[in-house]
Amino acid sequence: MDGLGKMSLDARGHSGLAASRRSDIASFIVMDVMAAAAAREAAGHRVIHMEVGQPGTRAPRAAREALIRAIETEPLGYTLALGLQPLRERIARHYLDAYGVPVPAERVVVTSGSSAAFVLAFLALFDVGARVALPSPGYPCYRHILTALGCSPLMLETGPDTRWMPTAEGVLGAAGPLAGLLVASPANPTGTMIEPDRLRRLVDACAARKMWFVSDEIYHGLTYGLAASTALAWSDEAVVINSFSKYYSMTGWRVGWMVVPERLVRPIERLAQNLYISPPAAAQVAALGAFEGLDELEDNRRIYGNNRALLLDALPAVGFTKIAPADGAFYFYCDIAHLTDDSLAFSRLMLDETGVAATPGVDFDGVNGKRFIRFSYAGTPADMAEALERLSGWARLKG
């Protein structure tokens, strides 16, 4: 700035100011793949979307009808920062119905999708500089959000030997201070689930090290064998995050929730007031209605289950022979080391040459992800069949 307090400009009229260092995080690659797929569609090509974890089914009828009624009768203005009380009470009842675990409604926080829940949780739990353990491969936004908030992710490598999940021994043996551990079951990108006893041991390991345990349970309900367990069954100290996006088929509605220890409710409320004011009123009304559509949602789950069975049978014949145990969610995480050591370039070629969009493993694992790719089977059965037909004739899958 010059002596008059005016900011000097370069020859192009730019001030020379740069974005903050905290914004210098990696992109969420699946969103970049979505953009490339959208560009291809805009050019007149048909794309089979297997890149994004988004149900091909609509929000349940009960959710849509609840919103229609509310639009005609309610202003749908700001709600309380913690969410609509009837929705908080219904979510609390869900834990008793689904898991036999009593949860007071006062400990439920409704959020603007699970993404806002992660931001609120990380701000409430971790100070700048805190080290937080995350499984690798794992959902990339965990580490990106933590990094933007000034925390340090510690990646715990998983694989076939640990059934793609961290172990209590690994947590207890990790060097240096740790403020927390985050685990998802079913997991993204693998779809693998953690067994109840192993989940309990992870919770106990965190308690022994005096660190927070955060349980990402957004894929609960989407399981095909072993039932999912909530971390709340073993500890009231666990922070649980869930969402209406996946099982409830409400991705774009942007509504999720957290269950937190009672002493965290007020700190999180203050953060929510200032960052978000409140979750979207319309989405909350629809979410409350969604609980009345469970039969429809189970029909949706059967569709995903049929897609899963079809692809588990057919993907090896196409060329994807090594798949992580796909217990839940709607993902296959495939080892493609026999085909490439550059999953990003491979996924680009696959989109360009077959019109099938998938997510490269480097989105989930910066070290080993170059030899993995993730397919989502949340689309329609017709799309899954067409994807297999396109891939079966792709010469690059011959190795």
From first to last of its 399 residues, the chain has per-residue pLDDT tens of: 333 334 344 556 666 789 999 999 888 999 999 999 999 999 999 999 999 999 989 999 999 999 999 999 999 999 999 999 999 999 999 999 999 999 999 999 999 999 999 999 999 999 999 999 999 999 999 999 999 999 999 999 999 999 999 999 999 999 999 999 999 999 999 999 999 999 999 999 999 999 999 999 999 999 998 889 999 999 999 999 999 999 999 999 999 999 999 999 999 999 999 999 999 999 999 999 999 999 999 999 999 999 999 999 999 999 999 999 999 999 999 999 999 999 999 999 999 999 999 999 999 999 999 999 999 999 999 999 999 999 998 977 765
**So what's the pLDDT on residue 226?**
85
- Quote the CA–CA distance of 121 and 115 in Å, as a whole number: 10
**So what's the pLDDT on residue 5?**
39
User: Which phi and psi (to 5°) does residue 357 adopt?
Assistant: -95, 130
**Exposure pattern of 176-211 as b/e (b: 16+ CB <10 Å)?**
eebbbbbbbbbbbbbbbbbebebbbbbbbbbeebeb
55-108: pLDDT as tens digits: 989 999 999 999 999 999 999 999 999 999 999 999 999 999 999 999 999 999
Q: Of 270, 293, 316, at which residue does a domain stop?
A: 293
**So what's the pLDDT on residue 396?**
79
Same domain for 285 and 138?
yes
Same domain for 242 and 299?
no
**So what's the pLDDT on residue 397?**
79
* CATH code of residue 244: 3.40.640.10
For the chain, what's the residue count?
399
Q: What is the pTM of this model?
A: 0.93
Q: Of 241, 276, 293, at which residue does a domain stop?
A: 293
Domain that holds residue 163: 76-293
Q: Of 278, 293, 308, at which residue does a domain stop?
A: 293
22-36: pLDDT as tens digits: 999 888 999 999 999
Same domain for 209 and 194?
yes
348-396: pLDDT as tens digits: 999 999 999 999 999 999 999 999 999 999 999 999 999 999 999 897 7
Same domain for 287 and 316?
no
Closest CA to 28 of 130, 184, 137, 145: 145
Tokens of 200: 């309990």
**So what's the pLDDT on residue 4?**
35
Give me the sign of the Cα torsion angle 113, 119, 122, 123.
Answer: negative
Same domain for 43 and 81?
no
- Quote the CA–CA distance of 48 and 28 in Å, as a whole number: 20
Same domain for 223 and 109?
yes
